[in-house]
Structure formats: structure tokens, C-alpha cells
Homo-oligomer: A and B are copies of this chain.
Amino acid sequence: MYTNNSSIISGVSVCVPKNEINNYSFLKKDGVDQFIKHTGVKKHFLSSNNKLSTSDLCYVAAERIIKKLNWKKKDISFLIFVSQTRDFLLPSTACILQNRLNLRKNILAYDIPLGCSGFVYGLYNSYLISVNMKSKGLLLAGDMSSKLINLNDEKMAGLFGDAGTATAIQYEKKSKKLSFFTFGTDGSGYNNLIYNSSGINDSNKKKYLEMNGAKIFEFALHEVPVQIKKLLSKSKNSINSIDYFVFHQANKFMLNALGKKLGLPKEKVIYSIDRFGNTNSASIPITLSENLKKKNDLKILISGFGVGYSWAIAIINLHKPKFDSLQKI
């Protein structure tokens, strides 16, 4: 367990492609009810525009949160871009966003290509950097799964959603509330969620994301509750002391099973999968932003898990964060 006591989330903004899909009309009639019951996905956003990129979504979210918080761009000292659908293999999309957002040049900017656990990884890195720099920065997490999947494969196209998010991270000397983090990796399951190509001159045949849902479910149910209990105990927290539990929005069936295994009260588990689908690294900030707009002074447990296998859990404090209204482009 690792701690941080001087960084906070000041706000979150979310941007999605305007193409909203209603699964009741999108999916074949005979299996639609069962699919929606299992995954929990009623609506979601999938781009129908080939030219739209993950950086386009994160750019809009970043501009919005900077404006909402009245930040001066010259004060932004770092930019971390978390995504599995980066604009180019090289250069880093973070560099492209630095220029597009017209941020200062003496900025630290890099990409972290992580999925389900990516937001918590990005948050930990942002917290460490903001303390070291005694400054503020942007954590941009987003994925356009529409690029990775076969849109004719209903099991995938009905589940995933595109989204970009911007989370504003601030150093606060006076913040005395501790955040707690824990991380894990088990590469033995690397091929259960994979895009089986390096992306370099791989023109053999069209490739799509491959997912062994049963194996991922088995891993998550086995590993995540144990690690969450450990973190609660080591940080001297309990289920009672946590206001909300925010899981990576994998699918409703898995989230229900996790909640049950941990014995969580239903009202403490919040969701975005019904309206956004599985949005990969964007799922945790979306769930925060879309459910907690009028809330204040909260202690939240967030947990990302999946591709890698990789998992990350944190207990964070939210004090008057500003959650922006949803943007569509």
C-alpha cells in the first residue's frame, strides 16, 4: 500500500462521439433482453466517423475542464494521456495535445497505454508528479474501442463505448487527507484480452480485439475482492467508511458479482455502464462525473482491473470537485 497526502482531483470533464446507440434497436431482437440484462448496457456512444481520434475527445474534455476551473494554461506542468488507441505509434499523443491545447513548452507530457486499470495508474503517477512539482496538471484518459472491434460483432459492438475524459489534478499543501494505492500484475493472462499485433506493418489480415470473457471474469472475481479487502484493512478503512465504490465498468454481471462477494450495500456501488458501455480507461472518471455532480466531501474507493492482467485500487478523497456536463462532438 502506498500513500499520498497532497494531491487532489479538482474536476472531471467527459466528451463522447455524438453517435449514440440504443442497444434495444441496435441488437438482434431474439437476444437483446438477455444481453442487456447481462452487460447492463442500454445505451452507449460509438463513433461512426473514421477520422475522429481519441485525442479529439480528450482535447474537448481538457479545454472544458480548464475553462470550468478557471485554470491558467501557463500553470499546467504535466499532461498524461492514458489510452490503448493512441493517434500514432509514435510520436506520443500527449505531445500532439500539448500543441493543440496551446500549453506551455516546459511541460512533462507522456502516454501510458493501459486499459481497464489505466485511470488509477495515471492518477498515481499524476499525484506523485504533482507533489514533486508542487504544481497542477491534466490526466487525459480515453479510448475509442470502435477502432479495435468488429462493429458487426454484436457481443463486442453492444458492449464497448468510446469516450475521452480530462481529470484536473492539483497539488494542495494543506490537504491532509491521505490517499491509498495498491497495484498488481499477472501477465500469465496476457492473451485473454489482446489486440494480437504490435501495429507495425501488420498487413496480414484485419485484426480485432480478442476477449476471453470467462477467463477475465474468473481472474477479476478471484483477485479484486481480496485486494480491496486488504487495502481497506491496511488503510484502516471499512466498507462503512467508504461513501462509494467505483469499479471499472466491465459489465453489470461482473460488477454485481464483485459487489456481492464484498458484501457491498447496493446504494454504495455506482455505475455508468448503462449509459456509456465499457469505456476502458475512461470508465472510472465517467462514473464519478456522471453520478456525483451534487456531492461533496466524499471518500471513494476506485478499482480498475482487466487487460494485462493488471489491476489497481485506490481510496481517494473528493472535496468539492467540479464535474462538467457531458460533451458530444
Asked if B132 contacts A115 (CB within 8 A), the reply is no
A147 interface neighbour in B124, B133, B201, B206, Cβ under 8 Å = B201
Q: Smallest CB–CB gap between A236 and chain B, Å?
A: 19
Q: Is A91 an interface residue (CB 8 A)?
A: yes
What is the bound-complex CA distance between A147 and B198, given in angstroms? 10
Q: In the assembled complex, which residues on chain B have CB atoms less than 8 Å from the CB atom of A31?
A: none
**Residue pair A111, B108 in contact (C-beta under 8 Å):** no
| Contact between A84 and B95, CB atoms less than 8 A apart | no
Q: Which of B95, B115, B209 meets A185, CB within 8 Å?
A: B95
Given contacts A114-B92, A147-B200, A308-B95, A105 and B186 within 8 Å (CB-CB): yes
Assess whether A49 is interfacial by the CB under 8 Å rule.
Answer: no
Looking at the assembled complex, report how far the CB atom of A81 sits from the nearest CB atom of chain B, in whole angstroms: 10
Interface-facing stretch out of A61-69, A187-195, A238-246: A187-195
Known: A87-B198, A206-B201. A186 touches B309 (CB 8 A): no
Binds B, one of A96-104, A289-297, A319-327: A96-104
Closest approach, in angstroms, between the C-beta of A37 and any C-beta of chain B? 28
Q: Is the CB of A310 within 8 A of B113?
A: no
List chain B residues, Cβ under 8 A from A3: 132
- Report how many copies the assembly holds: 2
Number of interface residues of A (CB under 8 A): 71
Give the distance in Å from the alpha carbon of A190 to the alpha carbon of B115 in the complex: 24
Task: Judge whether A110 is part of the interface by a CB distance below 8 angstroms.
Answer: yes
Give the distance to chain B from A260, nearest Cβ to Cβ, in Å: 24
Contact A110 B114 (CB under 8 A): yes
Give complex CA distance A93, B4 in Å: 27
- Is residue A25 contacting chain B, with contact meaning CB distance below 8 A? no
In the bound complex, do residue B200 and residue A195 qualify as a contact, i.e. CB atoms below 8 Å apart? yes
Interface residues as binary, A141-171 with B (CB distance below 8 Å gives 1, 0 otherwise): 0000001100000000000000000000000
**Beta-carbon contact of B195 and A88 below 8 Å:** yes
Pairs A–B under 8 Å by Cβ, sample size 6 = A85-B200, A90-B209, A91-B193, A92-B308, A109-B185, A110-B114
Known: A92-B307, A95-B308, A109-B308. 7 other contacts (CB 8 A): A84-B90, A85-B198, A88-B197, A89-B148, A98-B185, A106-B182, A195-B200
